[in-house]
Amino acid sequence: MVDIETQADWHWRNSMKPVRFFIFDARLALFFLVFILHMRMWTFGLFLFFCFFFWFLERRGLVFSAALLTFRTWILGKRRPAWLWIRKRKFHDYG
């Protein structure tokens, strides 16, 4: 039997929460795995760099996927037309 109170604790909007690896984004686990499998100073430095990077993104209020979208917007610029000029429909006056 499913308790009603346990269902009330979880809601569909919780499915959008980022997955956590201790206190960081779960994507950091990949760099942790690289460090564990290949223990060198440069892999440790890479792990620390991405720890700081993910921490910095979270301080700015971004998750990694939102940060990638923000970076793409910054690279492409503000003016991004929805259609190419070739594919835009031309105005026809049949009257």
Q: Which residue in the block uniquely carries the two structure tokens 């223990």?
A: 39
pTM over 0.85: no
DSSP assignments along 16-55, one per residue = GSPPEETTEETTHHHHHHHHHHS--HHHHHHHHHHHHHHH
From 79, 75, 54, 80, select the one nearest 65 (Cα to Cα): 54
pLDDT digits (tens, 9 = 90+) for 28-70: 888 899 999 999 999 999 999 988 988 888 888 887 788 888 8
pLDDT of 85 reads 67
